[in-house]
A and B are shown apart, each in its own frame.
Chain A
Amino acid sequence: MFDLKLFSSPRALKRDFLQSTDVAPQSMGPELRSDFERIRVQNADLLISGNFWWDFMRTYARHLTLIVSLRGVGSILILASVLASQRILDETNTLTASLWLLFFYGLIQLVHRVTNAYVAMLQNQILVCVRTFVTVRMNWKLLRMGSLSSAEFSTGNLKTLISSDIYRIAEFLGSLFRNGIPCLLGLIFLGPVIWFYMGIPGIVAVATAFAALPLALIFGRYVFHKEEIIKRQEDSLATIVGEWVTHVRLLRYLGWEKLLASKVAGHIRKLVIEVTKQHGVNLVNFGISVSWWLMPIIPLIYTADVMEDTSDLSTLFASIWMLNHITLYIRWLPGLFISYGAAAACILRLNRLFSHSDIEDELLPPCNQALQGAMPTKLHFNHVSFAYEEKEALTDLDLTLDLSRYTSLIGTVGSGKSTLLKLICAEVQPTAGKILVEFDNGVIADLRHHDVYAAVRRVFGYMPQEAYLSNATLAVNISLDEHHSDQEVMQAIHLAELAADITHWDSGIREEVGETGVNLSGGQKQRVNLARALYSGRPYLVLDDPLSAVDTNTESALMQSMLNQCGGFLLSSHRLTELKKTDRLLVLHDGKVIEDGSPTTLAEDPFSEFSKHLRAAEVSHVA
């Protein structure tokens, strides 16, 4: 904790600087690292145990006590130096005695500076800790929440939550340490001394020093309200700009850049108006408090005068000085309230995120049946419905899916195919009805039981309809792991028909795909996602429209890989030819299964939906 090297020469500092700006992770400190580890291990109760501040104080109790006690030492040193200087002012002393006292005063001052520097450093560590503390918790929460698509927690908002809200909180804490705690301690240590010296006038002066605070409290509330409005504007700004920089090609196709720029300008304007209001209040508040230190002196002199206090000038000035020390911090207290206002708005938002239910919260306790090593074989849908907020996507589904078979799913646009697939691999839970899982040892249990859910999540490889790519190498995108085996990745690449594409790339599977895969073509992105599902080696695959962006030739090769590489799959598709190779075909319409059977029989039946779909193509040839 005390590796600060505060007394090193500039040159040594520079050398140190050059070393530590390398990636060497040295200064994170054992506290932080253990916080990471601890949260990893017992994340659950840390998140649930609610109160942010309490949680934080408990975690960093050692740090905090140290800061507070060092601050206390600082206040005592101030007191000592004030007393020394008061003695100096006292005319009765001889010159040599005064100079000695001055020497002591100087020493005290030096010690005080050093304490201050250490405290500043400690405070910064705490600020770093708070960022870690919040970020780590947020990360865990997000992972445990699963996918959700509410406007409040859209990607843009989450990004501002991580990038700016956490700083607000840290800012507040910083201000608390810089001004709040010293002020409080100053009051505790110096206040009684002023009283002792000056009696009632001293008390009046201290009270005057604090008189500006109630106003600051009122202002702080206003700031808090405005902060929420400002946050909203900032969120929309972040969303627009985020969309802009990630979809610049689309914007240029559509010629919408000016449109978005004017939208951004509009939001900025609104933001500035709100901020102007907020800061207007802030400034009045700050202006008053910064000049407020002049005020306490007046009643001090005045009351002293009225009460015909006999105290000599040196006592008076010693008191003024001590007052100065208190007001020095008091003047920044309004800033503290204001930054609390801003931080509180951010914490409110964080707490809304933290209080969002986890996937696990919706799960039931383990079903107490022997599931060890058992494999799910069938899913029974029991009057299952699913609705996105108010929009019903699947209604009253009754259906049994044999996982070890090859099942395909077709249906009109928006008929609920993707939703059904998400239900199958337990990405989402039904809003009504239940899904029963049948295991190979004969156990049948509700998917919502903890252990059943875990067992189901282990067996599916899921390929979403929209490709997900992270800004990393191709190999990491396929394996989601830096420590992969190249050979297995290559195998997945071959199966996903990507081999031909990577021959053009200099670095092969180490090629960077760019953010959201910008360096790849549409079909390549899709196949990387397929390769990921194949790489996972999961027994069953859930594939959402894996063939939409590839040519017909590649399509049949991919179908062959999928049939060979897994013990069963569920696949939705709009490409019909290859579906005949599957065992079972479901036709969805408006959230209901309207047809179910073997594709070949359905194709032969001229009145079946499937054959109608097939014929749709034919009609267009003739036209």
Chain B
Amino acid sequence: MALIRFIGTLKLLKKIIVPTSIVILCAAATPSYFLWFLGKTGDCALQSGCQVTHDLLGWQVILPLTTSSLLAIAVVAMFCRVAAWTMFELSGQWSTQEIQAQMMKSICKVRTSFFDENPSGRLINRLLGDYGMLRLDGVMSIGDTANSFADVICVGLLIMIAHPIAGLLILPVILLYVGLQTQLAPMMSHARELRAVKIGEALHRETDLIEGRTMFTLYNKVDNLLERIYKAFNNSLNIQLFYAKLMSWGMLWMGVISAIYAVVVYAFLIVGMHNQTVSVTVAAVVITAVFNLNNLFFGLSWDMSFLGETASHARRAFYIIDLPDETEQESHAPQIVDDAPMKPLKGNIRFENYSMSYREHLPRILTDLNLEIPMGLHVGIVGRTGAGKTSLMQALFRLVYHHGGDIKVGGRSIFGLDVSFLRSHFGVVPQDPYLFAGTIRFNLAGTMDLPDDHLRSALDRVGLKVGLDATVLEGGKDYSVGERQLLCLARLILNRKSYIFMDEPTSSLDRRTDEKIQQLLQTEMSDRTVITIAHRLESLFHYDLIMELSEGKLVRQGPPGEMIPLLQSVYGNIEESA
């Protein structure tokens, strides 16, 4: 099934399927023709001027039975073979890009918790590994199977022409092959699935080593780490070996079938030769053809097993492509429809009896939350760690499972909007200042097309001294954590969103930088709605409103003058001035 669908996606290939199949047939037919021709040459080797006449669509084609004609046929065979493969494989290479694009599209839309449930190793393996196999081996395996099939038919025909009994004997052989395959194929495909899973797990464990090796070496727990890795690795090797055993088993029995076939055919030939009904040349041609047929059968079953692998890769790729859209799985509540879904949002943000959890069956993090963030105000959110502050932000972005209640912006429910449209309203500084591998420019501008001096001035304003084209390693490992946070702030200043959500934006900044940033934010963000999560109360002094969350609920709120002394008693003293 997956295979048929996979073939269906190969658009470019479909366009040139007619010439491709013709060339494949030619490529398969010429070697057989060559043998047949060779047989004829052998027949009249001693007379001069003997020739073969063909009637091709009314044309008389006369080929002298000479070595140069043989050479010509061999060259044609090569040419056809090259052409067949080139057309098949290269067009397939280009066509499979579509599959990758669809996978990426689906990944863009799948629910966020999908990524929590699936280890990254597995996902990367699906998105790149399976795709890569489809691109490289997938199309090839289809082409090879088609080729081998054509080869088998042509050689079969040749045998049929040279010696009809030997030709008819192919039928029971094919039946036996099919019988064998029905036993073997299901096991093979099961083993392949298992193998993919186990390899994924082993790779996933390697991640621990790659990312956490400094921790494990420092604490002298390397043996433990390796033990875990090798356990997973061992499992994957196990299934690999079993798979190999299955292959050998299949190969053996297929070999036995074809050997028996060859012996039977030879018996007929010998008897024929002794009765003078079969000439030596015919016998030689048939023997060579049977020899080739055996190999071709072998090739065919080998290709079929690769085809099986392709099917399993395709199945996994389509699993990704068919993942449901995040909006279908974010709630059981009836879908709300907004009457003007693309009208920009404006107004207060209200949570009304809102409840959420990260996945449907996990405990709720926010429960019956009611709060209102007035437009244009700067609101600080505080709470013990794990209180649900970051969850609040994720709720607003619709990254979580929605159990009930509603979130409204300017009276419009956010659940009626297009998700990416909704998300485009908010500017964010995340709690974990992760930078993407690339350059500073990429991390700063992202989707925006801004002139360099804009970017530079933003960097200046946050006080970061780096070049725009400086490289950034994964996660921003080559910058200090504070520098990464400053970069996130610069990015925030650059994209002028109407709602700003900052999750502990200054947690890794020193006091003086923090203070500068607070002033900068005050001037930059004066006209916008700002929601800041903070642990350091003193950074909220000049805010308009402070809200305290606890266990997923709003406990109290008020202006800083009122709230801060109250909170001080709960959260300990803010820093006394010297």
Contacts and interface: CB of A to CB of B under 8 A. Distances in A.
Contacts of B242: 17, 20-21, 27
Interface string A273-312: 0011001100110111011101101100110010000000
B473 A606 contact: no
A502 to B, nearest CB: 10
Contacts of A504: 363
Contact of B230 (A36, A91, A146): A36
A413 B482 contact: yes
Interface residues of B, number: 189
B385 A523 contact: yes
Interface stretch (B51-59, B165-173, B246-254): B246-254
B234 A28 contact: yes
Contacts of A10: 183-184
Contacts of B124: 159, 163, 238, 241-242, 245
B510 A239 contact: no
Interface stretch (B2-10, B69-77, B153-161, B310-318): B69-77
A5 B229 CA distance: 30
Contact of A120 (B228, B247, B263): B247
A561 interface: no
Given A256-B446, A504-B363, A524-B385, A482 B228 contact: yes
The secondary-structure label for the interface of chain A is helix
B537 interface: yes
Interface string B231-270: 1011101111110111111011001100110110011001
A234 B127 CA distance: 12
A284 B79 CA distance: 9
5 contacts: A121-B248, A242-B474, A301-B70, A471-B208, A552-B572
A24 B235 CA distance: 8
Nearest to B216: A480
A581 interface: no
Interface stretch (B13-21, B332-340, B401-409, B430-438): B430-438
A269 interface: yes
A518 interface: yes
Interface stretch (A64-72, A369-377, A459-467): A459-467
B249 A117 contact: yes
Interface stretch (A46-54, A97-105, A195-203, A221-229): A97-105
Which 8 residue pairs are nearest across A and B when measured between Cβ atoms?
A523-B385, A287-B82, A124-B244, A413-B482, A113-B255, A117-B252, A109-B259, A294-B74
Contacts of A159: 121, 124, 203, 206-207, 210
A550 B44 CA distance: 96
B211 A155 contact: yes
Contact of A284 (B82, B217, B238, B513): B82
Nearest to A25: B234
Nearest to B541: A621
A120 B255 CA distance: 13
B238 A245 contact: no
Contacts of A131: 237
A85 interface: yes
Contacts of B209: 139, 142-143
Contact of A255 (B100, B292, B447): B447
B115 interface: yes
B509 A574 contact: yes
B358 interface: yes
A395 interface: no
A13 B238 contact: no
A291 B73 CA distance: 10
A105 B259 CA distance: 10
B526 interface: no
Is chain B's binding surface mostly helix, strand, loop or mixed? helix
A459 to B, nearest CB: 11
B212 interface: yes
B341 to A, nearest CB: 17
A471 B204 contact: yes
Q: Which of A114, A292, A480, A483 has the most chain B CB within a 10 Å cutoff?
A: A480
A120 B81 contact: no
Q: Counting chain B CB atoms within 10 Å of each CB, which of A10, A14, A464 scores highest? A: A10
Contacts of A21: 190-191, 194, 238-239, 242
B187 interface: yes
Interface stretch (B281-289, B344-352, B367-375, B450-458): B281-289
Q: Which of A29, A36, A527, A616 has its CB near the most chain B CB atoms (within 10 A)?
A: A616
A31 B172 CA distance: 43
A239 B437 contact: yes
B238 A110 contact: no
Contact of A552 (B107, B190, B267, B573): B573
A468 B212 contact: yes
A551 B535 contact: yes
A211 interface: no
A550 B211 contact: no
Given A301-B41, A320-B288, A545-B481, A576 B280 contact: no
Contact of A32 (B190, B237, B244, B394): B237
Contacts of B535: 549-552, 555
Given A116-B255, A413-B509, 10 more contacts: A23-B235, A95-B274, A110-B259, A113-B252, A120-B244, A253-B426, A269-B97, A317-B284, A413-B485, A616-B511
A514 interface: yes
Interface string B490-507: 000000000000011001
B128 A576 contact: no
Given A128-B240, A313-B42, A259 B510 contact: no
B252 to A, nearest CB: 4
Interface in A187-237: 234, 237
B518 interface: yes
B480 A91 contact: no
A615 interface: yes
Interface string A445-482: 00000000000011011101110101100000000111
Contacts of A139: 206, 209, 226, 229
Given A286-B85, A522-B431, A620-B518, A279 B187 contact: no
A91 B276 CA distance: 10
A477 B26 CA distance: 63
Contact of A617 (B217, B249, B423, B515): B515
Given A6-B249, A320-B288, A413-B483, A283 B238 contact: no
B248 A4 contact: yes
Contacts of B273: 91
Contacts of A249: 112, 394, 399, 430
Quick one: which of B245, B247, B536 has the most chain A CB within 10 A?
B245
Given A259-B446, A313-B280, A142 B228 contact: no
